[in-house]
Structure 1
Amino acid sequence: MEEDDIYTKDGTVDYKGNPADKKKTGTWRACPFIIGNEGCERLAYHGMSTNLVLYFKHRLNQHTSVAATNNQIWGGTCYIAPLIGAFLADSYLARRILDNCLFFNHLYYCSPFAQGMTLLALSASVPGMRPRCSAEDNCNPTHKQSAIAFLALYLIALGTGGIKPCVSSYGADQFDDTDQKEKKHKSSFFNWFYLSINIGALFTASVLVWVQDNVSWGWGFGIPAIAMAIAVCLFFSGTHLYRNQKPGGSPLTRLFQLLVVASIRKFKVVPAEKSLLHETEDKESNIKGSRKIDPKNDLSYLSSLLVTIVSNVTARNGKPGWIPDNLNYGHVDYFFWLLAALSVLNLGVYVWIAKWYTYKRAVGTLR
């Protein structure tokens, strides 16, 4: 067997930094660890964040508006942090550790995530760290106890910044795009990947919220902490099976180079001749681990694919599709009838479940 058939052609390497062996690394050998990691990590995140406003209100003795504001600020931090984490992962962080990008970024950021989850569970269960409560909803936390809780939360936000933007792309790296068989399997990976996310969220909404409201906040935060520990163990159990992309340097530098240098120098060039385009001296990209798009092949394929999709949407078998030029001859009304039916079904389910709701009596009336 030739060497080209043994190793991947997309620049990936194994955990030792050697070219990745197709028969020993990647594909569905490695993906179960990544999918299991994501499911447990999402369970941990949603299990901790879903009921957070009530924890602020009932345990940290915050007013509803303050609790909601703190929750929104923390949630916003969790969604901004991935912008920084992804930049560091793809550019510098991993190179300075061991020249393997997303894997070691995951290692770097799993630590504060797991530490934050553990600290939050301890702050809700250990005497001295847990706020004293004279009644169910009457607690008097000290400034130190509140500070510990928020320290834990922002450690989690820091960890989320490194994990959230990297896991899905790391799973995609396990499939070689130059191998058509592996390329087809990549779409199946994303199906299972997002299924694991929703399973974790389902367990959170159906079980953990009940535990937090009816058992204790210690267990309510302890179970997500255990799930995060399992996520870390699952991920690193597949170390020897992973394929790793090497970091390619700062994307800001390349963006500046493209927009300012290449676009000004070659703004009159029509991309019909491949040799006239930017960075086309050879078939390999100047950025390690990156792949080029062939303007004559891949772009024409994408264009034809787009035309096919549009034509299937607008017309099929000579008949108008869902979105034809004249909507009176289409089937958009079917779609709206479907939405109406789902709305009625949703209302019926809500009314049926409402009989199990419990209600609090009004404290007083306005005069």
Structure 2
Amino acid sequence: MIEAGDDSIVQDGTVNIHGQPADKKKTGNWKACYFILGNECCERLAYYGMSTNLVNYFIERMHQGNATAAKNVNNWSGTCYIMPLLGAFLADAYLGRYWVIAIFSMIYVIGMTLLTVSASVNALKNSVAVAFVALYLIALGTGGIKPCVSSFGADQFDETDEKEREKKSSFFNWFYFSINVGALIASSVLVWIQTNVGWGWGFGVPAVAMAIAVVSFFSGSVLYRLQKPGGSPLTRIAQVLVATFRKINVKVPADKTILYETPDDGSNIVGSRKLEHTDKLRCFDKAAVPTGSDDIKGTPNSWRLCTVTQVEELKAIIKILPIWATGIVFSAVYSQMSTMFVLQGNTMDQHIGPHFKIPSASLSLFDTLSVLFWVPIYDKLIVPFARKFTGNERGFTQLQRMGIGLVISVFSMVIAGILEVVRLNMVRKHNYYDMETLPISIFWQVPQYFLIGCAEVFTFIGQIEFFYDQAPDAMRSLCSALSLTTNALGNYLSSLLVTIVMDMTTRHGKLGWIPDNLNRGHLDYFYWVLAILSVLNFFAYLWISMKYTYKKATGHVK
């Protein structure tokens, strides 16, 4: 256990790469984060450089239709955001965040290399099987990195130190900023290379970027603060459920001091502080009620008697689930940038001057530019201004921040729908039904991309910070992974909506809302569906967030 009061040692239980208590001056803080931000920037450059234009790769190289290609991209993207549950479990339970990032980064590099080979070697260029093996290796690799890297960066700031705790909130903003620096290069330079040079080079450059990401990560090893894994969080959750069931007939006492907890200031969970008892979900308090058969003086059987902190871990997870669920519709809106926005842009005039065409997938750079614009504005201007009125050191609470983003996302779908109405009116007016590219500039799509970028700064960054902050100390990777699954389910929801609307609108010989020739479809109707779902989702979120209470941790980490 770390001795409280030792000013040279970090008090949150972190250790250095050698397993010794982390030194405040030699480890952590921004000097360690620069390597993490460099890693994230290059990794996201690799990911977006490969994924941004993937729908066109499926259409051009794999000869798939619009709806099929969109569903394949959504399903693969969804898998990329489901796999973090595996990486997070390994990090929290056994390996720690550092080693999970290191191992899964290697898998990622192998996947990127195989994808490059499949796009370059003539014998493999049309092989769907090889391409999908590569893509799902990448999904596995990103599954180990994504749930750990933001939490690993936040671990570099001591939560028991007021000055470092303030820096941690700023870290999440700049972490997301670094993501979008990589995305900016991907959606501009790399998409252009894929469109004008070839898919081999277009995937090869991201593979090199991923290799650089690995080098950047390992370069900062001696500076990192590592949180020790706390054992299987799923086992602890199961213990609370079993103990509660065993004591189903036990009455929870009105005096909460009777509930079992370790006598010292530290929790018996490695890497975790104690959590204060809360009055919500009191049925689970039964697991912490001592009975005559429980040995509270020795080491109780955790399958019969759990500590208050262990019970509160489960409560914390259950409490954030409704907030988590409201992120699914937002993620479905966000996923349109890599599918429907690209398909919509394919039908518009992509020329910049007489000789240069901008690929439709490159329009996502305006989403990235929006994020790069709004992050410093939010961090340096909006937060100090809002702080004067709210009194909150963050400017807005995490829940308020996410809610603002949800509102902005509605307008992005409305703008996209209006543009499609204008585009289809031009088709009908001039009989452009079979015209591949309409004489309407693709840059009319910029507002819908820009609004989604603004929404991201509020909702996604707020979400990252919320799930890190509200997670029990020993479950932070798992909760970060849980937040990422909203992206997965958002992609799956989008894929499901495409399937449903195509099934319902292609009956009786009709082409449906999203045919291969969008000039004969009604993509605007699909945007209206998403706008309506977003409005309903916001009101559900408003009701849920008003009932939410933030967690309170006490004591120190063992």
Give the TM bin, normalised by the shorter chain: 0.7 to 0.9
The change in CA–CA distance for 1:270 and 1:259 in structure 2 (over 3 A counts) is farther
Of 75, 78, 81, the match for 2:80: 78
Tell me the residue number matched to 1:149. 131
Aligned residues: 299
Larger Rg: 1
Aligned partner of 2:253 in structure 1 is: 269
Corresponding residue SS for 1:124: helix
CA shift, 1:210, in A, is 2.0
2:103 to 101, 108, 114: 108
Cα pair 2:155 2:225 within 8 Å, conserved: yes
1:16 pairs, out of 9, 15, 18, with 18
Structure-2 change in CA distance of 1:68 and 1:180 (3 Å): same
| 1:229 matched to 2:211 | yes
Q: Distance in 2 between matches of 1:10 and 1:176?
A: 6
Is 1:172 matched up with 2:154? Answer: yes
Query: Which residue in 2 is equivalent to 1:61?
Result: 63
Conservation of the 8 A alpha-carbon contact between 2:262 and 2:268: no
Matched to 2:132, the amino acid is F
Matches within 5 A, 1:201-350: 201-261=183-243, 264=247, 268-270=252-254, 273=257, 276-294=258-276
| Whole-angstrom CA distance in 1 between matches of 2:195 and 2:255 | 62
**2:167 aligned residue:** 185
Alpha-carbon contact 2:87-2:143 (below 8 Å) kept: yes
Q: Match of 1:223, as an amino acid? A: V
Deviations 1:226-273 (A, max 9, x none): 111111111110000001111111111211233442694875234653
Deviation per CA, 1:182-224: give whole Å up to 9, x if none: 1111111111101111222222223322221122111211121
Gaps of 5+ in 1: 95-100, 132-140, 300-311, 317-331
Q: What amino acid maps onto 2:264 in structure 1? A: D
Q: Percent identity?
A: 56
Inter-partner Cα distance in structure 1 for 2:251 and 2:238:
15
TM-superposed deviation, 1:354: 3.9
CA drift at 1:61 = 2.7
Alpha-carbon offset, residue 128 of structure 1 = 3.4
C-alpha offsets along residues 298-319 of structure 1, whole Å, 9 cap, x if unaligned?
x9xxxxxxxxxxxx99x99xxx
1:328 corresponds to: none
2:31 aligns with 29
Q: State the TM-score, normalizing by the size of structure 2.
A: 0.49
Structure 1 counterpart of 2:219, which letter? Answer: S
Q: Given the alignment of the two structures, is residue 48 of structure 1 paired with residue 30 of structure 2, yes or no? A: no
Structure that is richer in helix per residue = 2
Unaligned runs of 5+ in 2: 279-311, 313-385, 391-403, 424-438, 444-516, 521-558
Tell me which amino acid in the other structure corresponds to 1:116.
G
Structure 2 counterpart of 1:169, one-letter code: S
1:273-302 CA deviation, whole Å, 9 max, x = no partner? 3xx344332111111111123459xx9xxx
